[in-house]
A and B are shown apart, each in its own frame.
Chain A
């Protein structure tokens, strides 16, 4: 029997922007087991809910993640609105949907760039981030913030977008779509990338389902779950289908994200075409009393906010379960049996957001 050795991977590693640790049990170059350790960047954001009034907590909750911040604030606000029985104006729902999809575009482009960098394709990394910059410009022009938008609030949204700006956004998306087509052609058809990603870190459909994979990790294995299809915000008025791939390898997960960019562009165009006139917020009085599980689809998968109010301005409990946490057990499964040199690529393929996971 080959002698087993344990190699520590992380928390500091060139491919990891954030800290997570794995003890990799190796037989020669084969990984037979991976033991994860988390908890390096816990910030105690959930506890702050007891110290801040619920309308101000939106600013804190959206800082859970520096990439999908808008969707955190949207999920939190939806939860409070459900507890308090608040009817948000229709235009606010559409604006929330538009900003959510812009966030998804920026997150997926960021990931594609980081992934290209992880596999040593730096030119492609810069190309992806250059396109991302034009998405961030739109977010800044419409909300005032590049990655932390602060535009969602309990009862609606803080800012409206003028009809001229919406038209301009729809026109600009055509140019961005062309650039993304060029970019994804390289990601999906370049020989060196296919060679690096095909049959690496395979997760079967059954394993993805039973281990609780969410988002592109699950859809890359053929599990067609997408929380947007539950119809929150304005998604019930827009048409789209969950993007899935069958192979369950790193290439499939990359392909899902690349194809989802086009879904997001299409959703934004549909939302701009259908957005109704009207107010963007309503006045909220009182305090939440009750509990609610608010769910939404982040770029990385299903996000859950559990909120419990006690009739005061300070909530009794907030619990945030982010998609990266549920994608760690499938990740451990993917790593088992792979080569040591493939571990960084496999870890990157779930789009890990450790700060988000540890809150």
Chain B
């Protein structure tokens, strides 16, 4: 009985080994080939600087304190080495200017932060017609 059992296991292992020999590799040559990704994969956060309203929600909601917003200098900064790609900033951004890209960032040899200049310009408020008319009436 014991012999039969081990023979069975031997054939299973031999089957697996032969299958491995004739199949193509189960792995890919990352980073030379892009990693397998799905539409919802979390790769890295990207910002559309023309839509950022500098509210600072992303900075407050970031659990790893990777984002730094400087309202005076109008810059948005992310430390990719601190970012844990949790999607918290993307979910909470009221202006929807943050997007999760599906690919990882490229490997680097030096630590650095990424600084983006915010180019969003607040549109001027259209003067309400009634107020303007009222103002004229007062004068």
Interface residues in chain A, defined as those with a beta carbon under 8 Å from any beta carbon in chain B: 52, 56-57, 59-60, 63, 123-124, 126-127, 130, 133, 137, 140-141, 143-145, 148, 150, 158-159, 182-183, 185-186, 188-191
**A-B contact sample (17 more), CB < 8 A, given A133-B26, A141-B38:** A59-B88, A63-B84, A123-B16, A126-B20, A127-B20, A140-B41, A141-B40, A144-B87, A148-B84, A148-B86, A150-B87, A158-B87, A159-B40, A182-B12, A185-B12, A186-B13, A189-B9
**Quick one: closest A residue to B4, CB to CB?**
A189
Could you show 21 A-B contacts with beta carbons less than 8 Å apart?
A: A56-B63, A56-B88, A59-B86, A60-B63, A123-B13, A127-B20, A140-B38, A141-B40, A145-B42, A148-B84, A158-B91, A182-B16, A183-B16, A185-B9, A186-B12, A189-B5, A189-B6, A189-B8, A189-B12, A190-B9, A191-B6
Point out the residue from B17, B63, B84 that lies within 8 Å of A123, measured CB to CB.
Answer: B17
**Quick one: closest A residue to B62, CB to CB?**
A56
CA distance A190 to B17 in the complex (A): 15
Q: Mark B26-53, 1 if CB is under 8 A from A, else 0.
A: 1000000000101011100000000000
User: Closest Cβ of chain A: how far from B64's Cβ, in Å?
Assistant: 8
Q: Does B120 contact A (CB under 8 A)?
A: no
**B63 to A186, Cβ gap below 8 A?**
no
Determine the chain A residues whose CB is within 8 A of the CB of B84 once the complex forms: 59, 63, 148
Determine the chain B residues whose CB is within 8 A of the CB of A190 once the complex forms: 6, 9-10, 13
Given A123-B13, A133-B26, A190-B6, CB of A56 within 8 Å of CB of B61: yes
User: Closest Cβ of chain B: how far from A179's Cβ, in Å?
Assistant: 9
Main secondary structure of the interface of A (DSSP, over half): helix
**A57 to B38, Cβ gap below 8 A?**
no
User: Closest Cβ of chain B: how far from A141's Cβ, in Å?
Assistant: 5
Q: Does B96 contact A (CB under 8 A)?
A: no
Number of A-B contacts (CB under 8 A): 71
Given A59-B86, A137-B36, A144-B38, CB of A185 within 8 Å of CB of B63: no
User: Closest Cβ of chain B: how far from A314's Cβ, in Å?
Assistant: 13
3 closest residue pairs by CB, A with B: A189-B9, A191-B6, A190-B9
User: Closest Cβ of chain A: how far from B40's Cβ, in Å?
Assistant: 4
User: Closest Cβ of chain B: how far from A249's Cβ, in Å?
Assistant: 17
**B42 to A150, Cβ gap below 8 A?**
yes
Q: Does B71 contact A (CB under 8 A)?
A: no
**Quick one: closest A residue to B23, CB to CB?**
A130
Determine the chain A residues whose CB is within 8 A of the CB of B9 once the complex forms: 185-186, 188-191
User: Closest Cβ of chain A: how far from B58's Cβ, in Å?
Assistant: 12
Q: Does B15 contact A (CB under 8 A)?
A: yes
CA distance A186 to B8 in the complex (A): 8
CA distance A143 to B17 in the complex (A): 33
**Chain B positions 37-94 with a Cβ under 8 Å from a chain A Cβ:** 38, 40-42, 61-64, 84-88, 91
CA distance A186 to B91 in the complex (A): 46
Determine the chain A residues whose CB is within 8 A of the CB of B6 once the complex forms: 189-191
Point out the residue from A57, A60, A182 that lies within 8 Å of B15, measured CB to CB.
Answer: A182
Point out the residue from A57, A124, A144 that lies within 8 Å of B13, measured CB to CB.
Answer: A124
User: Closest Cβ of chain A: how far from B53's Cβ, in Å?
Assistant: 21
CA distance A67 to B57 in the complex (A): 30
CA distance A188 to B61 in the complex (A): 48
**Quick one: closest A residue to B17, CB to CB?**
A123
CA distance A126 to B9 in the complex (A): 17
User: Closest Cβ of chain B: how far from A158's Cβ, in Å?
Assistant: 8
Given A133-B26, A182-B16, CB of A144 within 8 Å of CB of B61: no
- Residue from the set B9, B17, B26 with the largest chain A CB neighbour count within 10 Å: B9
